[in-house]
C-alpha cells in the first residue's frame, strides 16, 4: 500500500514535517509512506493556466498524489487556518481528479493545547469541497508538541506513537474497503 504524506510547513524545524518523518519510519512494512518534497517551490496557482501549460513541478506533484492509495496531510495552524503554501498546493488540485474520493488523513501538530484544531477544521472543509474522503477516525490533532518531540525533532511520546499505529490501521482499513 502506497501512501504519500504532505507537510503544510516549509520550516526547517517543523513539528509537522517531523511527525510525517516519524510516521514514515514507524509504518508497517506493507505500508509505504513517502514524505513529499517541500511545497515552497510550487508556483502560485493561477486558474488561467491550462493543463498543457501546467508547470512540470506541479504536474509531477499532482501525479504522485493521484497514483497513491491514500494521502496524509500534516498542517500547522496559521491565523486560525492553514498555511498559504498548503492552500496554494490544494488550489492546484481543485480541477483535477487527484483527490476525488481519495482517502485523506488530516493531522495537525501545535505547541498550543488546542493542537491545531482550527487548521484541522479548515482542511476538513477544503477537502470535502474537493470530494476527498476525509478519514476522520484516522486523523489526529496533536497538542503540546514540545513535550512530544526531543530537541532533534524525534518523536518520543509513546501515546502519540500508539495513536499513529491506530491511525495507519484505520487508513489501511478505509483503503481496503474502497478497493473491495
Indicate the pTM of the whole model. 0.95
pLDDT of residue 93: 94
> Are residues 103 and 72 in contact, defined by beta-carbon separation less than 8 angstroms?
no
Q: Is the pLDDT of residue 22 over 80?
A: yes
Task: Record the cell numbers describing residue 16, joined without a space.
Answer: 509537522
Taking only the tens place, the pLDDT of each residue in 151-174 is 999 999 999 999 999 999 999 999
* Residues of the domain holding 38: 2-179
The residue ranking higher by pLDDT, 19 or 37, is: 19
CATH number of the domain at 53, please. Answer: 3.40.50.360
Q: Quote the CA–CA distance of 69 and 103 in Å, as a whole number.
A: 7
Q: Give the residue among 135, 111, 110 at the shortest CA–CA distance from 123.
A: 135
Q: What is the DSSP letter of 171?
A: H
pLDDT of residue 49: 85
* Cα Rg of the chain (Å, integer): 15
Taking only the tens place, the pLDDT of each residue in 56-105 is 999 999 999 999 999 999 999 888 899 999 999 999 999 899 999 999 99
Taking only the tens place, the pLDDT of each residue in 92-139 is 999 899 999 999 999 999 999 988 999 999 999 999 999 999 999 999
Q: Is the pLDDT of residue 50 over 90?
A: no
For range 10-15, the mean pLDDT: 93
pLDDT bracket for residue 47 (50, 70, 90)? confident
pLDDT of residue 146: 97
Number of separate domains in the chain: 1
Q: Which residue has the cell 491506530?
A: 166
pLDDT of residue 43: 94
Taking only the tens place, the pLDDT of each residue in 31-43 is 999 999 889 999 9
Q: Quote the CA–CA distance of 36 and 60 in Å, as a whole number.
A: 11
pLDDT of residue 114: 87
pLDDT of residue 4: 98
Sign of the torsion angle spanned by Cα atoms 11, 16, 22, 26: negative
Amino acid at each position: 500500500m502506497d501512501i504519500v504524506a504532505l507537510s503544510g510547513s516549509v520550516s526547517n524545524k517543523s513539528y509537522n514535517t517531523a511527525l510525517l518523518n516519524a510516521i514514515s519510519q514507524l509504518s508497517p512494512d506493507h505500508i509505504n509512506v513517502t514524505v513529499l518534497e517541500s511545497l515552497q517551490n510550487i508556483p502560485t496557482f493561477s486558474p488561467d493556466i491550462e493543463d498543457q501549460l501546467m508547470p512540470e513541478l506541479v504536474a509531477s506533484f499532482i501525479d504522485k498524489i493521484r497514483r497513491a492509495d491514500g494521502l496524509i496531510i500534516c498542517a500547522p495552524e496559521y491565523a486560525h487556518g492553514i498555511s498559504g503554501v498548503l492552500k496554494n498546493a490544494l488550489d492546484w488540485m481543485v480541477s483535477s481528479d487527484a483527490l476525488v474520493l481519495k482517502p485523506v488523513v488530516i493531522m495537525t501538530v501545535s505547541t498550543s493545547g488546542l493542537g491545531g484544531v482550527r487548521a484541522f477544521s479548515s482542511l476538513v472543509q477544503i477537502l470535502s469541497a474537493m470530494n476527498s474522503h476525509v478519514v476522520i477516525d484516522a486523523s489526529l490533532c496533536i497538542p503540546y508538541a514540545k513535550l512530544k518531540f526531543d530537541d532533534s525533532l524525534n518523536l518520543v511520546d509513546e501515546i502519540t506513537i500508539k495513536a499513529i499505529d491506530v491511525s495507519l490501521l484505520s487508513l489501511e482499513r478505509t483503503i481496503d474497503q474502497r478497493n473491495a
